[in-house]
Amino acid sequence: MDMARAGAGGRGGGGRKPGGLTPEEQAEAELRDVMKHPANAICADCSAPKPRFASITLAIFLCNRCYGLHRGVGAHVTRTKCVALDRWSLLEVQRMRRVGNSVAAAYWERLSLLFPSCFCQIFLLMILG
């Protein structure tokens, strides 16, 4: 078998155009890139390493435990997705890039300084339901 001829112009991906990514593949690649940011390499809520989930409402990355807490709060407050298993749209990924863990942390910190008691109530409502 002449494998060199079959591999010309591609990496044996089964007829894919070179450089031509589908929107889904593009979103996946961009999401991986967004996750390389040091702030996104830890859970936004508890700082556990290598978060594999995200709240697309809050645009933050979450560990398995905090993902469970967010799911418990309900999709009307925080909609969650798995980084590896769920399908992501480019818009969702771009939002994760724009916000991410560091911008979100700064936002919530500022808000808690401005409205400390209010913030505590909202936080407790989110966590306890």
- Residues interacting with Zn ion, by CB under 5 A? 43, 45-46, 48, 63, 66
Minimum CB separation of residue 74 from Zn ion in Å reads 18
Least CB distance to Zn ion at residue 62 (A): 6
Shorter beta-carbon distance to Zn ion: residue 26 or 99: 99
Q: Residue 89 to residues 9, 23, 114: CA-CA distances in angstroms?
A: 28, 8, 34
By C-beta, is 48 or 122 nearer to Zn ion? 48
**85 touches 22 (CB < 8 A):** no
Minimum distance from CB of 45 to Zn ion (Å)? 5
CA distances from 125 to 65, 77, 107 (A): 18, 10, 18
Residues facing residue 117 across a β-bridge: none
81 forms beta bridges with: 54
Nearer to Zn ion, 45 or 92 (CB): 45
Q: Tokens in use for 87?
A: 């399908």
Q: Which CB, 34 or 43, lies closer to Zn ion?
A: 43
CA nearest to 34, candidates 84, 93, 92, 80: 93
Min dist. Cβ of residue 25 to Zn ion (A): 28
